[in-house]
Structure 1
């Protein structure tokens, strides 16, 4: 018995926020001092480092649970299954439903429960729960779904990654330009077909690294409200990712029984274009090889960093021929990999 993705779907918000959107922002350092460069220079350097030209924001009337539902419906339709057949709904996110204009995240009931409600699933043995694992949450949820199916306690699982980071960004922090909104979902099933999840690897580094990404006050210290925003130590995360993610990918690949030359695509969390390129280059250097051209599809330039949604959304785009220059076919060996708050890293080797 193997565990395969039988349906994939995503929801990409229609509201486009180009880099020029930040032209009138007042940026501050984390000590509250005004940033010393003009916004035009800040934005130009940001684009050169991250590769991001625009990102997507969900409309005011929608929340994370709504877009998670949209992606779920697309995945269920793609799989051609009846929604009542689902044994588990696992939703990876980090900030819950933050309504537009609110200062509080709403996580009770869980996002998974809300999705099940929105889908109008009546089956009480369809169990829904949330995964909080930073940006690697969707991959970790896939690993758990795989375990449930391999253990014989589930046959069909719906695995969703959804986030509305536009609701938790500090407009006075340059890092706010990185974040985006979106949702991706997959139906995974037990099957006798060849392929599926071949191996996986996960790790949490929390001794020194636990607070590299955290919730904090606005960089504008004159703001007197109780709102907290997503914050990060970007340089520390960059160094952490380069030092640990390539080794995690190598460990996972070796567990799969496949060689580096058999890998057709690497679907890596869309965090930062330069960082992702450096991770993949270092991964291939572990094998004394140069990185093959076109090995790493990228969507970050248009979609930004939507956390848990980036990997399933990217896979959906490539599988359905919607990302120019990239395609995959049955039998291809691919790697899913991610790094994020916790600090957590993980990887899956998957045969399409």
Structure 2
């Protein structure tokens, strides 16, 4: 009997504090930095973002999203035997201890299942989902919580209008379970460290921190590379599943920039109506963006059982990947 892994529950959480473009522009203007709603929307498609409260950490956002996914799946926390958290903004420096362990504690899981963090920046959820799929197919784990959670507002330089207007905080989660029915159909993961400098947080750790602990991004370079690799990795995932692009019911790309997303859909020959877009409401939430968009489309009824979903992302590293799933 062939063993598969299948998404049986989704959940998400956005912090209460919602900041519109105009509100952010007013805050920046007080510091002598000029921007506007029109400038932000034209370049990114973003209208608003959410910022976590000072006391909220990635694990707090992750735990809320996870509980909602568990509720949809009809599961209890102790049914989970593995937690994988994708985050570039972990609770503790160097993910030590892992945010996944903290989430395990906050969910009240006492079965001593495994917990681990994955770091692939904005590709993190795709990497984590592919990893969970491999564990389930190998028979090592049965029910896995896969979570993307970020508090990117903590690493933004609010003196740099080219980056601080793009990112937000949030979390998304799925319950991935062993199944006799096909769920995750294929995945493809890649990285190219030669591009590590175009999207990074240029501080270092060699016994002590050094440098600037703020996100840096070479926007034009990221844009050019992202559009190219997203098309290729989608076709790779389709080929592995012996499917065609017309078989895709929904495209859920990393919610970074509407121009990148639209360019990817166009290259795949997919109409905009087949792409889930939530970037306008929460900005770039890095590893959380794909599961946030997935949960939104599941809960509003767009995504239906039996449909094929292409999820793909790019992130610092440079990393990229895609997962093709039947919901």
Corresponding position: 1:341 with 2:316: yes
Instruction: Report if the CA contact (8 A) 2:21-2:40 is conserved.
Output: no
Alignment of 1:1-352 (within 5 A): 1-20=3-22, 21-25=24-28, 38-40=34-36, 43-97=37-91, 105=93, 107-124=95-112, 126-174=113-161, 175-193=163-181, 195-207=182-194, 209-216=195-202, 228-284=213-269, 291-321=270-300, 327-352=302-327
User: C-alpha separation between the residues in 2 aligned to 1:159 and 1:112?
Assistant: 10
Note the C-alpha offset of 1:95. Answer: 2.0
Q: Secondary structure at the match of 2:274?
A: coil
- Larger fraction in helix: 2
Aligned pairs, how many? 317
User: C-alpha separation between the residues in 2 aligned to 1:27 and 1:199?
Assistant: 49
User: C-alpha separation between the residues in 2 aligned to 1:257 and 1:281?
Assistant: 21
Note the C-alpha offset of 1:106. Answer: 6.6
User: C-alpha separation between the residues in 2 aligned to 1:163 and 1:22?
Assistant: 22
Distance 1:226 1:249, change over 3 A: closer
Q: Secondary structure at the match of 1:61?
A: coil
Q: Secondary structure at the match of 2:130?
A: helix
Note the C-alpha offset of 1:39. Answer: 2.9
Q: Deviations over 1:219-278 (max 9, x none)?
A: xxxxxx975101110100000012211011011111112222121110000000011111
Distance 1:307 1:27, change over 3 A: farther
Relative to the length of structure 2, the TM-score reads: 0.92
Note the C-alpha offset of 1:297. Answer: 1.2
Q: Secondary structure at the match of 2:267?
A: helix
Structure 2 stretches lacking a partner, 5+ long: 204-209
Which protein has the larger Cα radius of gyration, Structure 1 or Structure 2?
1
Give the superposed CA RMSD. Answer: 2.0
Note the C-alpha offset of 1:7. Answer: 1.1
